Structure 1
Amino acid sequence: MFGIRKVNLNRDLWILLSSILIIHVAAYLIVPIFPILLKTAKGLSPSEIGIVIGAGSLFIQLGSILAGIIGSRFGNHITIIIGNLSQAIALLGFGLTESFYLLVGFSALNGIGTGIYIPTIKAAITYVASEKNKTTAFSLRGVAAHGGAALSGLLVLLTATNFNFFISSIIYIILMIASWIFMPRDCGDQPCPTLTLTSYVGVFRDKSFLLFSVISACIWALHTQLGLLLPLRAEVILTNTSRIGIIWTISSVFVIITQPFVSKHFLEKHTHATSMFIGTIFLGIGITLIGWANSFYFLLLCALIFIVGEMFVMPVLDSVTSTIADPKLIGVYFSVANFASGIGAAIGNFGSGAMIDVYGIKAAFTPWIVIGVFAGILAVLLQLPSVKSLSK
């Protein structure tokens, strides 16, 4: 299928992938234009935009911890519904307020919901996918996610206003109802493990996993830059900012077509460390070039270069986490991994927002050079023996 070797898509996996597609339709009605809406509709400065977006990333950590605790007591089914409800309320709040502090609060709530949903859905995929198909299943997760983003990119052409918050909230509510009816109610073929706070203590004693989590946080600090910097750059060089959605649509269609081939012909044949190294280089190049972009097509090129990096990095991060993790604590490991990614994304957003406030989005190249150097250093670190040994 699309160049990927045959994988058993059982009913539960189909439901999980469908949920991922729908939630990305809701999310990407906002993501491509979120910084622009915060600037134009809510009147925020670049540093305030970075704080609002960063708050969501920061509170992913709390959601991640809650995901493991709630999931162990009530199962993935209820946990996913709680995540959807939190995001629905947050998006409704975004649409109703212009207060900076309330926007930070609703961003935090959205982060909690995201933090609950992401590790839970990843753990659920791990439970229903066979051991040999995990990397393939996570690649299909990427295809489903980008399918939703592609559809939303087209919808943004039709509506790119404050009303998008309300549409997105309605989609989350519909997904919550569908999850209640159709979502798997257990952890695959086995009961969900009983987890306590001591389970998290045990994970934080896993030095190999902690090192990998630090690397993951650095990658996410780089990865989060596209959603913040590309829209802000587009807002000052494009006359019609709704065209930003087309960039996400084209990039997502590109992933849908090429991700399975990348998975089959590279990810499954080379070490995870090699994949992360290549992916980080492309992520860094894609973001850095945004600083020189002066047209729609240049921005599109930057996004496509970035997306190539994402295709190499993201399925591998999930696969390594599932490999390192104790099978009995898979939900906790994904929660802590999401904790690390949220810390990295928050730092990335705070840092970029501050740099743009100081140097501007168009007038200086310093922010872009800083990001490029960071990506280069990270790529070098990924080649250290201690790091490569974690991700064979």
Structure 2
Amino acid sequence: MRTVRSWFRDTTGGLPRAFWYLWTGTLVNRLGSFVLVFLAIYLTRERGFSPSQAGLVLGLWGVGGAVGTTVGGTLTDRWGRRPTLLTAHVGAAAMMLALGFARPLWTVAAGALLLGLFAEAARPAFGAMMIDVVPAKDRLRAFSLNYWAINLGFACAAVLAGLAAQAGYLLLFVVDAATTLVTALIIFTRVRETRTVTATVTVRTGEPGALRTILADRVFLGFVLLNLFAALVFLQHISMLPIAMGDSGLSPATYGSVIALNGVLIVAGQLFVPRLIRGRSRSHVLALASVVMGVGFGLTAFADGAWFYGLTVLIWTVGEMLNSPSNATLIAELSPAALRGRYQGVFSLSWQAAAAVGPVLGGLVREHAGNSALWLGCAVIGGLAAVAHLVSGPARERRATALRAPAAPVAVVPPAAAPAPVPAAS
């Protein structure tokens, strides 16, 4: 018992109160994250769209998300983390309800586009706020705990959504919107603004120089590109996996139960991952994660029953568990403080680009080359990404070490180049 208490204290102790409010908001939001899990099934079975049309709608969600992360990253640095999060969550709740009532293809597509914009605009602000409030030495634990909350909510949502869908798909949209508003309320009442006004580099907010700084950071952009390929593989579990399982004669409820294994395994094991990977080379961990995810998705080509699909989910989930905390801590260390929101936005852009391209590309490959080609192609991408992580890892660590080096802080100045520091939002 003492060992368990000691482990629990080492895992959760010493983290700031603001982190736990953010963690609670994450858990509540994910408990109601019904829509994206079942959107492909909803579009093909309830609305009667073809797999290609469903892929297009999911792709437009990703396009909206790409715009949202870009705008959200800029607003996070210029306007503040808190107002950006509030605006994004309230807008996402409104668009969630609008999408639930949309019927023609063009209105569903427009609703998905706007929902992606608002929902993903919150991602850079949330990531920047997490980095702001958690000291560097505790970030591996903090990101693992937050990821644990995401998947605890996801595991419950996947099962509940399968049951709720039997009562009517509109209920999924209503509950999702409600939990998003609750998250906004938690942030509004409990979390203060965390944006600071000093940084280790001189940045004129609002000028093109900020974007040029990011575009010139080849080490960071290489990392973003590798995450894009990983995301292209990973997001097939939302777009093409439910369709493949449907073709195997499995019901939406079965898909919900199978995909819930992803969250269950993460909930059971994610809190042990920080101790497992602590002190190990991040490039080696990320390479191993890429291989394991590739194998898991590749085996889907041979799945023909619920148990086999469940096995593939468990395999690629292990890769996801290794990938997530290493990814999160590395992106935090590669982000200069004055550009933290924008760097988070550009990194999130890789997920949104994958969300935009992945469903369309997956649908086209599946229709023209077959189901096996899609999943075996995922395995090949995983292997290539693993090699790339091993090659590029040393440069990333040198870059992270250089950014950790102490430097004299300077003020972030507004577009008019006034000499006084910009006051933090309150």
TM-score, structure 2 as length reference? 0.84
Between the aligned partners of 2:298 and 2:122, the Cα distance in structure 1 is 31
Structure 2 residue matching 1:175: 3-state secondary structure: helix
| Alignment match, 2:412 | none
| Alignment match, 1:348 | 358
| Alignment match, 1:58 | 63
Q: Is residue 271 of structure 2 the alignment partner of residue 260 of structure 1?
A: yes
Change (3 A) 1:375 1:273: same
Between the aligned partners of 1:280 and 1:391, the Cα distance in structure 2 is 19
Change (3 A) 1:197 1:313: farther
Change (3 A) 1:230 1:388: farther
Amino acid at match of 1:281: V
| Alignment match, 2:379 | 372
The structural deviation recorded for 1:373 is 1.8
Query: Is the Cα contact below 8 Å between 1:22 and 1:175 reproduced in 2?
Result: yes
The structural deviation recorded for 1:37 is 0.5
The structural deviation recorded for 1:391 is 4.4
- Aligned counterpart for 1:217 among listed residues 225, 228, 240: 228
| Alignment match, 1:176 | 184
Runs of 4+ in 1 over 6 A off after TM superposition: none
Between the aligned partners of 1:87 and 1:321, the Cα distance in structure 2 is 25
Change (3 A) 1:333 1:378: same
- Aligned counterpart for 2:40 among listed residues 32, 35, 43: 35
Q: Which runs of 5+ in 2 are unaligned?
A: 1-6, 399-426
Query: Is the Cα contact below 8 Å between 2:58 and 2:355 reproduced in 1?
Result: no
| Alignment match, 1:309 | 319
| Alignment match, 1:17 | 23
Q: Is residue 349 of structure 2 the alignment partner of residue 381 of structure 1?
A: no
- Aligned counterpart for 2:158 among listed residues 147, 153, 160: 153
The structural deviation recorded for 1:387 is 4.2
| Alignment match, 1:200 | 211
Structure 2 residue matching 1:365: 3-state secondary structure: helix
How big is each residue's C-alpha offset from its partner over 1:324-362, in whole Å with a ceiling of 9 and x where there is no partner? 1112221111011111222233222221011223245xx
Amino acid at match of 2:147: G
Structure 1 residue matching 2:49: 3-state secondary structure: coil
After superposition, the CA RMSD in angstroms is: 2.1
| Alignment match, 2:418 | none
Between the aligned partners of 2:103 and 2:298, the Cα distance in structure 1 is 32
Query: Is the Cα contact below 8 Å between 2:62 and 2:353 reproduced in 1?
Result: yes
Structure 2 residue matching 1:269: 3-state secondary structure: coil
Between the aligned partners of 1:10 and 1:346, the Cα distance in structure 2 is 36
- Aligned counterpart for 2:141 among listed residues 115, 132, 136: 136
Of structures 1 and 2, the larger Rg is shown by 2
| Alignment match, 1:45 | 50
Change (3 A) 1:68 1:374: closer
Amino acid at match of 1:264: R
The structural deviation recorded for 1:304 is 1.0
Query: Is the Cα contact below 8 Å between 2:102 and 2:108 reproduced in 1?
Result: yes
Between the aligned partners of 2:35 and 2:292, the Cα distance in structure 1 is 25
Query: Is the Cα contact below 8 Å between 2:78 and 2:206 reproduced in 1?
Result: no
Structure 2 residue matching 1:294: 3-state secondary structure: coil
Query: Is the Cα contact below 8 Å between 1:288 and 1:368 reproduced in 2?
Result: yes
| Alignment match, 1:119 | 124
The structural deviation recorded for 1:236 is 2.3
Amino acid at match of 1:106: G
How big is each residue's C-alpha offset from its partner over 1:9-57, in whole Å with a ceiling of 9 and x where there is no partner? 2210001111111221222x12332211110111111111111111112
Between the aligned partners of 1:197 and 1:90, the Cα distance in structure 2 is 31
Between the aligned partners of 1:225 and 1:192, the Cα distance in structure 2 is 41
Query: Is the Cα contact below 8 Å between 1:271 and 1:391 reproduced in 2?
Result: no
Between the aligned partners of 1:301 and 1:32, the Cα distance in structure 2 is 19
Between the aligned partners of 1:7 and 1:202, the Cα distance in structure 2 is 37
Query: Is the Cα contact below 8 Å between 1:65 and 1:336 reproduced in 2?
Result: yes
| Alignment match, 1:338 | 348
The structural deviation recorded for 1:255 is 0.6
Percent identity at matched positions?
21
TM-score, structure 1 as length reference? 0.91
Query: Is the Cα contact below 8 Å between 2:297 and 2:376 reproduced in 1?
Result: no
Structure 2 residue matching 1:65: 3-state secondary structure: helix
Amino acid at match of 1:112: L
Between the aligned partners of 2:364 and 2:8, the Cα distance in structure 1 is 42
Between the aligned partners of 2:351 and 2:273, the Cα distance in structure 1 is 23
Structure 2 residue matching 1:389: 3-state secondary structure: helix
Amino acid at match of 1:378: A
Change (3 A) 1:356 1:121: same
Query: Is the Cα contact below 8 Å between 1:21 and 1:148 reproduced in 2?
Result: yes
Query: Is the Cα contact below 8 Å between 2:282 and 2:326 reproduced in 1?
Result: yes
Task: Please say which of residues 143-152 and 161-170 is displaced more in the overlay.
Answer: 161-170
Structure 1 residue matching 2:299: 3-state secondary structure: helix
Task: Please say which of residues 175-184 and 47-56 is displaced more in the overlay.
Answer: 175-184
